[in-house]
């Protein structure tokens, strides 16, 4: 079983859980996001939410997991906020852990999540945690 599972899609309403999105990353897309080298995977979303879902497997369910997203958007976050969320399996809700509402369009920026408490709420039975990044193209 791989230690990551990435997918993407565009949605009028945000998905309510961490089910894979409509486009599963292919081998080239995994390589495009593996390194911080200014190569990105694109997702269009005319008047919808552009959504990326990142599931990562951790070695245990007691160490504080972190996630970092580095990217850029053609629609400025200053016009439409970009959110990084983590899926809480206990509540069944997505929780915002970071966001950007100041960066200009086509400018690289970073979102970071550090989950340090209530860890059992986030891990699934195989120690995967789901994060998503999204922006509404309004």
- So where are the chain's domains? 4-136
- Helix or strand or coil: residue 119? helix
Global pTM? 0.94
Render pLDDT for 95-138 as a digit per residue (tens, 0 to 9). Answer: 999 999 999 999 999 999 999 999 999 999 999 999 999 999 98
How much is the mean pLDDT over the chain? 94
Label residue 135 exposed, middle or buried (CB < 10 Å: 0-12, 13-18, 19+). buried
Domain at 4-136: CATH architecture: Sandwich (2.60)
Contacts of 27 (CB under 8 A, 6+ apart): none
1: pLDDT strictly greater than 60? no
Label residue 117 exposed, middle or buried (CB < 10 Å: 0-12, 13-18, 19+). exposed
């Amino acid at each position: 079983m791989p230690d990551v599972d990435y997918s993407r899609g565009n949605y009028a309403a945000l998905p309510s859980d961490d089910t894979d999105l409509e486009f599963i990353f292919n081998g080239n897309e995994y390589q495009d996001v593996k390194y911080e080298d200014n190569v990105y995977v694109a997702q269009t979303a005319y008047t919808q939410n552009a959504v990326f879902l990142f599931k990562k497997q951790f070695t245990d369910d007691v160490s504080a997991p972190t996630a970092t997203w580095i990217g850029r958007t053609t629609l400025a976050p200053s016009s439409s906020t970009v959110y990084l969320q983590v899926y809480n399996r206990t509540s069944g809700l997505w929780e915002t852990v970071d966001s950007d509402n100041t960066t200009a369009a086509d400018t690289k920026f970073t979102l970071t999540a550090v989950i340090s408490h209530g860890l059992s709420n986030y891990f699934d039975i195989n120690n995967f945690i789901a994060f998503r990044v999204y922006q509404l193209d309004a």
